[in-house]
A and B are shown apart, each in its own frame.
Chain A
Amino acid sequence: MNRNEFLNSLKSQLIKIPESERADILYDYNEHFTIGIKEGRKESEIAASLGNPSVIAKEINANHMINKAEQSYNLTNTFSALLAIFGLGFLNLVFVLGPFMGIVGTLFALLVSGIAIAISGIALIIAPFLANIIPNLENYLSIHPAVLITSGIGLIAFGILWIIGFSYLIKLFYQLTIKYLKLNLNIILNRRNQND
């Protein structure tokens, strides 16, 4: 493999990296070739000592996705990081992705139920006022309006606490996921270097 083949191969596999960052990475390798050739080494020899461009690209991509997920909390980034790591061929897609989606779904459902609790509180508060507008509603409301309003406030407060609690739990789960991905990346990289 000569210099151009190496650099083109690396470049074509770094399409997910932002342009400026990619140029920065390629600059390093290009410079390495320039100096190496000046020292009288062959292009193919330098390319061989640098290693396989696909392996280098996979490592850079995985690192990039994890950094991105770490910097901004969102599901798409975490997902990309997961997929980048799967690309390195270490984690089993089904065994990790299944439980991951399950936990994400459960946490989301619990968050939504918090919102539902808060909304039912609001409904209790406005129910006595609705009774004046909707004629037959009065028959169903045998409870004193004051009781309705205080329990409504109670439910809203409970709903908000619930939402805050689960938001913390979601954040914690997110951080644990990132940590787990980083750990995996380190294991993969260590293994690879051992195989070199």
Chain B
Amino acid sequence: MNIQFKKGVLELCVLAILHKKNCYGYELVHDISNSFAISEGTIYPLLSRLKSEGFVTTYLEESQEGPPRKYYQLTKTGKLFYNELKQEWITFIAGVNNIIKEGELIE
């Protein structure tokens, strides 16, 4: 898949998954990898940026295996930001799809 596509939507994907459930970093990488391949290193700088911007917070939770895991959770402003970004995305792909469809008609 085109790298530029991925780069743009990774933030939206992370927010969408965190909107559904709180996650630890590895879990996020794993969940996204189910849909498309990502480079694992890109997720943590993204998470720490979202954290410094106040869109997510973290807390530690004990796990049966090994040390406690760091969970990421959406904040109120994070939820608002997610909804905004999602709306933008929907409008955007509708526009792109329209253009593609028009192109198909000519063929």
Residue A35 at the chain B interface, CB threshold 8 Å: yes
A169 to chain B, nearest CB (A): 28
Residue A38 at the chain B interface, CB threshold 8 Å: yes
Question: In the docked arrangement, what's the CA distance between A28 and B26, Å?
Answer: 9
Chain A interface main SS type: helix
Q: How many residues of B contact A (CB 8 A)?
A: 24
Contact check, B41 vs A38: say whether CB atoms are below 8 A apart. Answer: no
Q: Tell me the nearest residue of chain A to B10, going by C-beta.
A: A193
Contact check, B39 vs A31: say whether CB atoms are below 8 A apart. Answer: no
With A34-B67, A190-B7, A196-B39: A63-B45 Cβ-Cβ less than 8 Å:
yes
Task: Tell me the total A-B contact number using a CB cutoff of 8 A.
Answer: 64
Contact check, B52 vs A51: say whether CB atoms are below 8 A apart. Answer: no
Residue B48 at the chain A interface, CB threshold 8 Å: yes
Question: In the docked arrangement, what's the CA distance between A143 and B4, Å?
Answer: 73
Chain A residues within an 8 Å CB radius of B81: none
Residue B79 at the chain A interface, CB threshold 8 Å: no
B85 to chain A, nearest CB (A): 16
> Would you give the 0/1 interface string for A6-31, flagging 1 where the beta carbon is closer than 8 Å to chain B?
00000000000000000011011101
The interface centre, meaning the residue of B4, B29, B41, B66 with most chain A CB atoms within 10 A of its CB, is B41
Contact check, B48 vs A27: say whether CB atoms are below 8 A apart. Answer: no
Question: In the docked arrangement, what's the CA distance between A27 and B67, Å?
Answer: 10
The interface centre, meaning the residue of B6, B24, B52 with most chain A CB atoms within 10 A of its CB, is B52
Contact check, B26 vs A35: say whether CB atoms are below 8 A apart. Answer: yes
Contact check, A51 vs B39: say whether CB atoms are below 8 A apart. Answer: yes
Question: In the docked arrangement, what's the CA distance between A38 and B63, Å?
Answer: 13
Residue A67 at the chain B interface, CB threshold 8 Å: yes
> Would you give the 0/1 interface string for B62-91, flagging 1 where the beta carbon is closer than 8 Å to chain A?
000111011000000000000000000000
Interchain Cβ contacts under 8 Å between A and B, 17 examples: A24-B48, A25-B48, A27-B70, A28-B47, A31-B26, A32-B44, A35-B66, A46-B40, A49-B41, A51-B41, A56-B44, A56-B45, A63-B45, A63-B48, A193-B39, A194-B4, A196-B39
Interface positions of A (Cβ within 8 A of B): 24-25, 27-29, 31-32, 34-36, 38, 46, 49-51, 56, 59-60, 63-64, 67, 190, 193-194, 196
